[in-house]
Every structure is written in structure tokens, then in C-alpha cells.
Chain A
Amino acid sequence: MKRNPLLGRDVISMRDFGRDEIRGILARCRDFERRRKPLLRGRVLANLFFEPSTRTRLSFDAAMKRLGGQTIGFADAISTSISKGESLWDTIRVAEGYCDVIVIRHPAEGSARLAAEATALPVINGGDGSNQHPTQTLLDLYTLQKRTGRIEELKVAFVGDLKYGRTVHSLIRSLSLFGAKLWLVSPAVLRLPGDFLEDLAAAGTSYVQVEEIAAVPADVDVLYVTRIQKERFADPVEYERIRADYQVTPATVERFGPRLTLMHPLPRVSELHAALDAHPGAAWFDQARNGMVVRQALLALVLGAA
């Protein structure tokens, strides 16, 4: 039997996973594309969502149920004892008595790390503020592997809000492990923070910062588009201008050809033109489904059932 390095492990941050471990997880995902064996029958997942989420919560719920397990949990903190002032540590200690694995989403950054230290059960981070969302990164990598046949040496252009988006931060770091070449397309006010640029330079990752999609070469493999959030701008006029400048339309992507993979973590507002759903490279709904597959693999791995 193969050794399972994820048995009992927490999945908190992509920083905790090296190249081989990431490859190992992605390699196991394929087994869960169709398989519905009740590998997790009798196991309980606690879905502790301290802030609202649609895809992450539903897909963890579906992932556990498709493998024969059950789920408990809450979808916001209002109806729980947290609203009475209970510490996160105590909430986790209570929940661990009811379940075999915990998924946590919490607005405070570092909350998932703290939760993992409060319990011996495996904890999976479903997003801690704007810090980490490792299962999103893994589903993005899995989507890239399925679409392009590899995760190594990809040419990827990130478009939109590169300053605040945890999805982008985490994926950029992971792609940098695999020799990616990056184009970072954003308005000056939403550039990737200097700390990340410093890490990219230290890792020897080649990147170019530009302000227009037109400056991205036509032979990139992937265009990863993110939402520019209105609440980041004090001036609504500036928001409207930037939103219009960074909208991706069929005309924008025409010159990249049909082999381009187009990604977006969802939810989207107006940054992707609706007609792009018909583009052969449009991957967003696949990403959402792949999220469930990746989460099935992770649950089975950390619970030692894979």
C-alpha cells in the first residue's frame, strides 16, 4: 500500500506543501472524478463557516456526502455561541467532540492555523480572510493540469485585482514552484504587493508587471481573471473607469487563439463578457466542479481512506 503523507495532516496554507506533495495530491484527484465508493461512511465533517460562502461550503458538503460521509456545521457566526463571545479555540475544542475532520472559513487571517493548533483532528482551511484558501489553489492547479496537461513551465497572465485577492496570491506562489512565467496585469493601485514580488524574485520566477492586457504576449497558456471589487475604491468614478478597462471580452482574447485557458475563481460580476462562456478555453464552471473533486480527494487523504 502506498504511503499517504497527508494522513492526519492539516491543510492550512500552500506554504506547507512542497512540489512533490502538490503533485501527489493532484495525482490522486483523478481517482475521484467518477468514483463514488463510500470511503468515508460513518465519518463526520464539521463545516464551520464563520462567514458566508457558496461554492466552498456546498462543495465540501457535496464532497463528503459523495463519499458516504455526513456533515454538520453552520453557515454564519450569528446563530452560534461565537456571537456570545466564545473564543475560536473553545469552538474548535467543542466541535472536535462531534466530528472526524473540520473545515473552517473565518474572516480573521490566521484563524485556520489557530484552529489546527486547537485540535488533533485534521483541519482544512476554507479561506481565512485575505490570507490563504489552499483548496482553491489546488483546484486551480488541478484545472490547469486537466486543461493544459501540465502545471510546469506555464505562461500565465493574471488580470484584475492582484493586491487583495488571496486566490491570486496563493496560486502565484504555487505556480512559481513549478517554473511559471507570469504577466501581472492590473491598474497601478491594485498591483501585487511588494512582498510577493520579492518572493518571486528570490525564487527566480520571471514576471512582468503591465497595466494592459494588450501587453500580454499572444502565446500565453492561461488568462486568469479576477474580480475588481467596488469597495476597494473611494471614488466610484475611478472604479467604473477601471472596471471598464479590465473587462475581458471575446475581442480581447481573440488574438490568443483557441488554445488559451480562461480562468476565474467566481463569483464574477462584469469582468468577463457573458459571450466568453462559449469560448473553448472558458474553465470557470469546470473550476467549480473540480473544487468538489479536489475536496473529495483531500478529505479521503487526510482521513486515511484514499
Chain B
Amino acid sequence: MKGPTEMATTRAPKQGTAAAAARRAEGASAGDAAVKKDVKMQVSALRSGTVIDHLGPRTALKALRLLGIGDDATVLIGVNLDSRKLAKKDLIKIEGRELTPDEINKIALLSPQATFSIIRDFEVVKKFRPELPAEFEGLIRCVNPACITQDPRVKGRFLTVRKEPLKLRCHFCERSLREDEIEFL
């Protein structure tokens, strides 16, 4: 399985404040000062963990469920935030947790435009938009009730046919799946 494609690695200056790190984590640019200000007002910085930005609107809670993040976790959630790229977006900050490649792929399937920032000591050490692998195992269920993968002994496998709009194909039964048909395991 291919790993996520790194887009940029931004190291914050040593004198950077937590708020500055938060702005960087949100991927804010000089062109969207108003948006940046709003986001800054609504969320605060992480010491260490993961920021998932540019989630599709109203997908944050689903993303948390997919990641199995429960009541004991320290999480900040932004829903329906203004976004320059998406008009509206969701955002999640998860304290003390870096995601596995499988978890990242799940979020990429849920919301293909999502970007990830890994924070350590208030600094963004890595920022990337994951690239869905050409082929992956598990994660989702084939929607075809006649597919051999309905047998729990057979693990599903899927091919990424197209990224925008997302189209997958079951390796076994060849049924195509659109984004709105995806059912996570």
C-alpha cells in the first residue's frame, strides 16, 4: 500500500506562539485573513497530535467514529467553518494521537480533500493531503449483496478507478462504488 504523499513540511519558527502554530496547522494563507480570524476564534492549538482540516462539511463526527475516538480523548471539532477552498468545511484536532496509514486512508475515502497536519510540541512537523492508494484492502464493504466478500472469511479489496469524483471498483465482483455508496467496516 502506498503511503500518504507529503505536500510540504513546515517547521514553525522557534519563537512561534501556539496561536501561530494553530494558524499554520489550519493551512491558512495570507489571502483569507477573514477566514483565518474566524478559525482562530473557534479553535486553539494542539501540543502534539493531528489536525485534520478541509473535511467535507458535516463529516467531522463521522470521521471521529471511523477513527474510534471515544469519550476519553481530547478533541476539538469545528463544523461548518468558512473555507476559501470548500466554502464550508469541518476540522478536527486530536490531542496526543498520530494516525496510522489505514486510518488516514479511511479519512481520505470519507473526504478526499482532507489535509493532515502532524503537530509535535506546538509545531507542524508534517502536512500532507493523502493520496488514495491505487489498490487497498479492507476499510470498506462492497455494496453488492451477491459479492463473495459478503462471506466474512474473505477480505475485501478495492481499486481506485477515479479520484474526482471518487469511483472505486471491487477487485472481486467488479462492482463500481461511488463516494455516496461507501460503507466503512
Q: Which residues of A contact B (CB under 8 A)?
A: 13, 15, 87-89, 106-111, 113-114, 128-132, 195
Please state if A108 and B150 are interface contacts (CB–CB under 8 Å): yes
Please state if A131 and B153 are interface contacts (CB–CB under 8 Å): no
Please state if B151 and A87 are interface contacts (CB–CB under 8 Å): yes
Residues of the B chain whose Cβ atoms lie less than 8 Å from the Cβ of A106: 148
Please state if B174 and A114 are interface contacts (CB–CB under 8 Å): no
- Chain B: minimal CB distance from A39 (Å): 32
Please state if A108 and B174 are interface contacts (CB–CB under 8 Å): no
Residues of the B chain whose Cβ atoms lie less than 8 Å from the Cβ of A132: 174
Option from A108, A113, A129, A130 in Cβ contact (under 8 Å) with B151: A108
Option from A15, A87, A110 in Cβ contact (under 8 Å) with B147: A110
Bound-complex Cα distance A129 to B173 (A): 9
Please state if B148 and A88 are interface contacts (CB–CB under 8 Å): yes
Please state if B148 and A111 are interface contacts (CB–CB under 8 Å): yes
Bound-complex Cα distance A114 to B174 (A): 12
Most B CB atoms within 10 A — which of A87, A114, A129?
Answer: A114
Please state if B146 and A107 are interface contacts (CB–CB under 8 Å): yes
Q: A110-B173, A111-B172 are in contact. List 7 more A-B contacts (CB 8 A).
A: A89-B154, A109-B172, A109-B175, A110-B142, A114-B148, A114-B154, A129-B146
Could you list 20 A-B pairs, sorted by A, with CB under 8 Å?
Answer: A87-B151, A88-B151, A88-B154, A89-B153, A108-B150, A108-B151, A109-B146, A109-B148, A109-B172, A110-B142, A110-B147, A110-B148, A110-B170, A110-B173, A111-B148, A114-B172, A128-B148, A130-B146, A131-B173, A195-B176
| Contact pattern, B 49-80, Cβ under 8 Å of A = 1, otherwise 0 | 00000000000000000000000000000000
Q: Ordered nearest first, which 4 A-B pairs have the shortest CB separation? A: A110-B172, A109-B173, A110-B173, A110-B148
- Chain A: minimal CB distance from B153 (Å): 5
Bound-complex Cα distance A89 to B176 (A): 24
| Contact pattern, B 146-185, Cβ under 8 Å of A = 1, otherwise 0 | 1111110110000000000000001111111000000000
